[in-house]
């Protein structure tokens, strides 16, 4: 029962300037009152967030399915499950991270003490997209709460059912004076961006990322940008092609390709491009059957507009790329078949922008060096993946390419660990979160020093400098 029409957005409540201002005032008042600082409060809110997810898992899963046709298993595994893991991880460590960390002072300053202390930045604005609407809203929220911040959430208008459910559940579980939800699109986000926040945390495309950063510049607000990009995969003849094909197909076609760290295109050496493509096609068939449209494991595209954008990336006539599998599009059903393209040239439309849908171009490169040159000639991607058993090839990618993350032998896997910072670089974003990186992103690490009045050893540094000269 996948919805077939675009959802009208007029039923989404809009915000007035007065309401936005009052909401901002309320969150700042709460932060200044100090209630969010005690570790006990943070842990209690994290527990409440975990309860929100557990108690309402079925309803949340249904809402995400209604918005995206996303299979329930994917929502449970990749969204609810990962946020619960993150909550557990930060909850167990927040006391240690928030404690004073002593640092030795130089001899010249002795006797003296120094330490660092992570203090909450204040009130954060968290703007999230529609593709993983729970994970990309609640995972930054967990980090913000752990840091002791208040937060205003702005989920995406393109996943309206999930956003409405988030807006109704959050005040029932979390302190409504500390965490608020605003629904709506560009207008409402623009109004929020005019207000003073202490941190802006944005996940989405680079176009809006620039709008967010321009707003941040007006007030010198620190900003995290979790953006996208074209994440490459390199495969050579030393790889286990069977496994590589499955892991590439899984990473590309999960959530119908609408995953920020999905493999965007494959660079394969001449000896493997044929057999690898065949195996990817077989893997697609095993995962989604002969008719993926009937498969309960294959999702839908978020809107008809996005389906049309993807359709324009497919080869139009006999010229250009060859369709190894897929290629079917049904705009009304918001369906794009899992598609593998071969014979792709770097000038083809599919190579000009992040695909963000179930289309996988496979290109030929002579060797790892050519692949590295291909990757480094373009924007730095959010992830890069290498399937090669050759250690020198892996080291070459590690040393000579730059990406948010690098995966050897697997796709997507790095985002599942709270021990690993998650973020982009260059065109794929700035800043990172998950685990301690997320705690620090919403914190200011303050340096504190202290020195007793006596003995006044600093007298050596006071003018006149005659005595200092003698000791230098
Ligand atoms: P989107 O359209 O949902 O937009 C993201 C957010 O920006 C929404 O909350 C939306 O309301 C807001 N927004 C839209 N237009 C705006 C405007 N003019 N002014 C202010 N705010 C506005 O999502 P999207 O941009 O289509 O997301 C897809 C992109 O996000 C892809 O490029 C993908 O790679 C990237 N992404 C990155 C990550 C990551 O973790 N780095 C995760 C998911 C998606």
Q: pLDDT for 301-327, tens place per residue?
A: 999 999 999 999 999 877 889 999 999
Give 121's DSSP letter: -
Give 414's DSSP letter: G
The alpha carbon of 393 and the centre of ligand 1 are apart by a number of angstroms equal to: 34
pLDDT interval class at 344 (50, 70, 90): very high
CA 78 to chain centre: 12
Looking at ligand 1, which atom is closest to the CA of residue 228?
A: 34
Find the catalytic residue in 149, 150, 152, 260.
Answer: 260
Q: pLDDT for 352-394, tens place per residue?
A: 999 999 999 999 999 999 999 999 999 999 999 999 999 999 9
Nearest CA to ligand 1 atom 42: 260
Q: pLDDT for 82-134, tens place per residue?
A: 999 999 999 999 999 999 999 999 988 999 999 999 999 999 999 999 999 99
Question: What pLDDT was estimated at residue 3?
Answer: 44
Looking at ligand 1, which atom is closest to the CA of residue 382?
A: 41
Question: What pLDDT was estimated at residue 468?
Answer: 66
Question: What pLDDT was estimated at residue 13?
Answer: 56
Mean pLDDT, the chain, as a whole number?
Answer: 95
Question: What pLDDT was estimated at residue 112?
Answer: 96
Residues with CB under 6 A from ligand 1: 127-131, 136, 154, 156-158, 185-186, 189-190, 203-205, 208, 211, 226-228, 260, 354, 356, 382, 424, 429
Average pLDDT over residues 409-428: 97
Active site includes 226?
A: yes
Residue 2 has pLDDT above 80, yes or no: no
The three-state secondary structure class of 235 is strand
Average pLDDT over residues 49-71: 97
If DSSP states are collapsed to H, E and C, what string results for 383-452?
Answer: EEEEECCCHHHHHHHHHHCCCCEEEECCCCHHHHCCCCCEECCHHHEECEECHHHHHHHCEEEEEEEECC
Reported pTM: 0.95
The three-state secondary structure class of 404 is coil
Q: Tokens in use for 320?
A: 């250009």
Question: What pLDDT was estimated at residue 472?
Answer: 62
Looking at ligand 1, which atom is closest to the CA of residue 422?
A: 40
ipTM: 0.95
């Amino acid at each position: 029962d996948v919805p077939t029409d675009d959802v009208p957005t007029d039923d989404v409540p809009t915000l007035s300037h007065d309401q936005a201002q009052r909401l901002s005032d309320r969150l700042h008042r709460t932060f200044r009152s100090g209630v969010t600082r005690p570790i006990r409060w943070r842990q209690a809110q994290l527990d409440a967030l975990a309860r929100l997810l557990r108690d309402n898992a079925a309803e949340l899963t249904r809402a995400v399915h209604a918005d995206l046709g996303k299979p329930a298993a994917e929502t449970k595994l990749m969204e609810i499950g990962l946020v619960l893991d993150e909550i557990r991880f930060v909850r167990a460590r927040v006391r240690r991270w928030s404690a004073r960390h002593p640092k030795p002072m130089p001899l010249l300053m002795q006797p003296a003490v120094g330490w660092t202390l992570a203090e909450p930045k204040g009130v954060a604005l968290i703007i999230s997209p529609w593709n993983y609407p729970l994970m990309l809203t609640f995972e930054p929220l967990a980090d913000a709460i752990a840091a002791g911040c208040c937060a205003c959430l702005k989920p995406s208008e393109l996943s309206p059912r999930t956003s409405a459910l988030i807006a109704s559940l959050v005040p029932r579980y979390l302190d409504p004076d500390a965490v608020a939800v605003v629904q709506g699109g560009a207008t409402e986000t623009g109004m929020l961006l005019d207000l003073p926040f202490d941190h802006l945390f944005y996940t989405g495309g680079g176009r809006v990322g620039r709008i967010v950063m321009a707003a941040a510049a007006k007030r010198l607000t620190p900003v995290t940008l979790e953006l996208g990009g074209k994440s490459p995969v390199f495969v050579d003849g030393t790889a286990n092609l069977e496994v590589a094909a499955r892991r590439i197909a899984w990473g590309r076609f999960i959530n119908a390709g609408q995953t920020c760290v999905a493999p965007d295109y494959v660079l394969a050496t001449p000896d493997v491009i044929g057999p690898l493509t065949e195996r990817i096609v077989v893997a697609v068939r095993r995962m989604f059957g002969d008719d993926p449209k009937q498969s309960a494991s294959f999702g839908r595209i978020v809107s008809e507009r996005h389906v049309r954008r993807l359709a324009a990336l497919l080869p139009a006539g006999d010229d250009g790329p060859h369709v190894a599998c897929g290629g079917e599009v049904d705009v009304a059903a918001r369906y794009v078949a899992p598609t593998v393209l071969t014979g792709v040239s770097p000038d083809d439309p599919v190579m000009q922008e992040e695909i963000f849908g179930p289309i996988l171009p496979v290109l030929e490169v002579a060797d790892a060096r050519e692949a590295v040159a291909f990757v480094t000639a373009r924007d730095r991607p959010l992830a890069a993946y290498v399937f090669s058993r050759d250690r020198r090839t892996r080291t070459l990618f590690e040393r000579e390419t730059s990406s948010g993350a690098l995966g050897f032998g697997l796709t997507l896997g790095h985002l599942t660990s709270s021990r690993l910072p998650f973020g982009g670089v260059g065109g794929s974003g700035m800043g990172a979160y998950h685990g301690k990186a997320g705690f620090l992103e919403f914190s200011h690490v303050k340096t504190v020093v202290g020195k007793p009045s006596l003995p006044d050893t600093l007298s050596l540094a006071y003018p006149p400098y005659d005595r200092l000269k003698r000791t230098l």
